[in-house]
């Protein structure tokens, strides 16, 4: 496994009704939901490292720290970026941010752990 700090991944989302707080039952407002922003950041983190992982391994989230800073309407486009900041054994930490045409929407850190897929699934309850 050759994961080095600085590797990055990006994802883009055009906000749909299914991405809103009201659709995800995390509020009543029809704007981009915080859990969907976090998922977008995790997707960007996976895009950064998945091609570099040995076959039969994957990463799973173990910690998320995230500040949601601006409401985003349906139809707007946002871009998430994850930059690998630190590698500590199997634990990898990313700095994540989400932006739109007007600037920063949210930012934080996502920590993931590299696991053997078969071993991990054998432990699932």
Residues paired with residue 31 on neighbouring β-strands, in sequence order: 73
- List alpha helices for the chain, DSSP H: 21-24, 34-49, 117-123
Residue 98 near residue 80 (C-beta atoms within 8 A): yes
Average pLDDT over residues 40-51: 97
Q: Of 13, 82, 9, which Cα lies nearest the Cα of 47?
A: 9
Q: What is the reported pLDDT for 2?
A: 81
Structural domains for the chain:
8-123 (3.10.129.10)
- Identify the pLDDT of residue 113: 98
CA angle 34/66/30 to nearest 5° reads: 15
What does the pLDDT read at residue 55? 96
Per-residue pLDDT for 1 more than 90? no
pLDDT tens string 60-113: 999 999 999 999 999 999 999 999 999 999 999 999 999 999 999 999 999 999
pTM (2 decimals)?
0.94
| Token reading at 51 | 């091609």
Q: List the one residue out of 95, 108, 36 whose CA is nearest residue 67.
A: 108
Work out the mean pLDDT of the chain and round it to a whole number.
97
**Helix, strand, coil percentages for the chain (3-state, nearest 5):** 25, 45, 25
- Quick one: what percent of the chain has pLDDT higher than 70? 99
């Amino acid at each position: 496994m050759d994961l080095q700090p600085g590797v990055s991944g990006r994802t883009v989302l055009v906000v749909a009704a299914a991405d809103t707080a009201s659709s995800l039952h995390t509020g009543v407002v029809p704007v981009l939901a915080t859990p969907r922003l976090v998922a977008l950041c995790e997707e960007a983190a996976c895009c950064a490292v998945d091609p570099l992982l040995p076959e039969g391994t994957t990463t799973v989230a173990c910690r998320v720290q995230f500040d949601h800073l601006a409401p985003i309407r349906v139809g707007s486009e946002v871009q998430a970026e994850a930059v690998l900041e630190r590698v500590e054994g199997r634990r990898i930490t990313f700095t994540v941010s989400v932006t739109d045409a007007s600037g920063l929407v949210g930012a934080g850190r996502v920590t993931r752990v590299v696991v053997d897929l078969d071993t991990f699934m054998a432990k699932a309850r």
